[in-house]
Amino acid sequence: MPKYGFGKCIIFERMLNADEIQIIPTRDGSNTLFLAKMNETYHSRFGALREAMHVYLKMGLWRWVMRRQAMQREEGSVGETLNGSDVRVLELGFGTGMNAWLSRELSSLGGLRVFYTSLEKFPVPAEILEKVELGFDRDWDFWEMWMGLKGDMPSAEMRRSSWWDLAQLPFGELPVKLDDGFEIVKIQGDAIKFFGDFPLKGEKGYDVVYWDAFAPKKQPELWTEELFAAVKMAMQPGGMLVTYTANGEVRRRMQCAGFEVERPLGPPGKREMLCAIKPKM
């Protein structure tokens, strides 16, 4: 087995079973999952919802939108809004579907058209997902307080329904259009193989990448310089990869792969996170 510099590589020999996963509360009132085999949670115990909103929405998708808007304004090619803007998002680790659900909410509030691809090697069983509480009655004010977006708060039932549309979709190769602003394809498979095959697909590169793998010590094979180089090839110039970790070795590997790496403020419980930007030239 190759050595990745972080620790022992944990390999699943079969699909996850419901009895391997525990649903646990986090400090912001939302749930996350705990996988005993890896001694690892899917999201932060300091707040699963707040972590996802900060790392992937505020510092990822919406920050990319704002950067592009500023660039287009300099060129005189955009007005005061980005209504109808197309954004291609790639997520590593569908998990509970929290990041996809929040991205769908943002697509509606921000007037975006999001084309979302989610990779997941080991899907969470439906009987677990049905019991998860992701904070559907919480933090709606995040969109206005942190991102300046306004909208009437839907009921918790409506927000849960929006999430469940995503969670219950089968994994496959064909995208599903859920509404005018959000289209998703869920792919069950290995990330290393996916990025190895990507140049053969002839697809347009991704604008934003959510790197939501388990921690580097738990899944070291997903934090290598070689994989980051392959990810960069699959991204558009100016594209952004965001992740919750601020690990110094991960940052150096991103830089060696050709990314420009920033360390913005992290989510609750973390001082910093990482944002890797593909140079435009």
Is residue 189 one of the residues assigned to a domain?
Answer: yes
For the chain, give the percent of residues with pLDDT over 70: 90
pLDDT of residue 4: 36
Model confidence, pTM:
0.90
Is residue 219 one of the residues assigned to a domain?
Answer: yes
Is residue 52 one of the residues assigned to a domain?
Answer: yes
CATH number of the domain at 107, please.
Answer: 3.40.50.150
Is residue 11 one of the residues assigned to a domain?
Answer: no
| Strand-pair category, 206-211 with 85-92 | parallel
> Within 13 Å, how many C-alpha atoms sit on residue 100's CB side?
29
Is residue 98 one of the residues assigned to a domain?
Answer: yes
Separation of alpha carbons 256 and 229, rounded Å? 8
Which residues, given as ranges, of the chain have pLDDT below 50?
1-14, 79-84, 200-202
Q: Which two tokens stand for residue 187?
A: 């792919």
Q: CA–CA distance from 16 to each of 12, 75, 124, 220 (Å)?
A: 8, 50, 7, 19
pLDDT of residue 77: 63
**Cβ neighbours for 245, distance < 8 A, ≥ 6 positions apart:** 215, 216, 273, 274
Name which of 130, 275, 122, 137 is nearest 209 in CA terms. 275
DSSP for 178-217, written as a single string: EETTEEEEEEES-HHHHHHHHHHHTPPPEEEEEE-PSPTT
pLDDT digits (tens, 9 = 90+) for 176-210: 999 999 999 999 999 998 888 765 444 679 999 99
Is residue 5 one of the residues assigned to a domain?
Answer: no
Is residue 4 one of the residues assigned to a domain?
Answer: no
Is residue 96 one of the residues assigned to a domain?
Answer: yes
Domain residue limits at 125:
18-277
* 276 DSSP β-pair partners: 241, 261
pLDDT of residue 199: 57
Query: Considering its fold, how many domains does the chain have in total?
Result: 1
